[in-house]
Amino acid sequence: MPVFLVNGTGVVAQAEIEKFMPGHIAFLEENFHKGHFLMLAKKVPWKGGVFLATTPSREALQEIIDTDPFVIHKIAHFDIQEIAPTHINPELPTFAKR
């Protein structure tokens, strides 16, 4: 199954984004638990986030992303790039929890 790197960036003021943050977090957690999203990360300093996703196709991923409140309300942009991982450090799960 393809793997995608998704880079999300807010396109409105932080105060507007905060209004929809609970719904966005619920969207992320739901898709993480369904196995669509493999890793979630905040940008530092916060200006959005990135995640790794796996779905049968880019189109299937776009259909999922289109249900995010950030997309529905046009307050964030998501750039999707298919990637082909060649090396994965076995320490990644441990490192990500630090």
pLDDT in tens, 28-85: 999 999 999 999 999 998 889 999 999 999 999 999 999 999 999 999 999 999 999 9
Residue 45 to residue 52: CA distance in whole angstroms: 19
Which domains, from first to last, does the chain contain? 3-7+16-51+58-85 (3.30.70.1060)
Map tokens 């986030």 to a residue.
49
Is the pTM higher than 0.75? yes
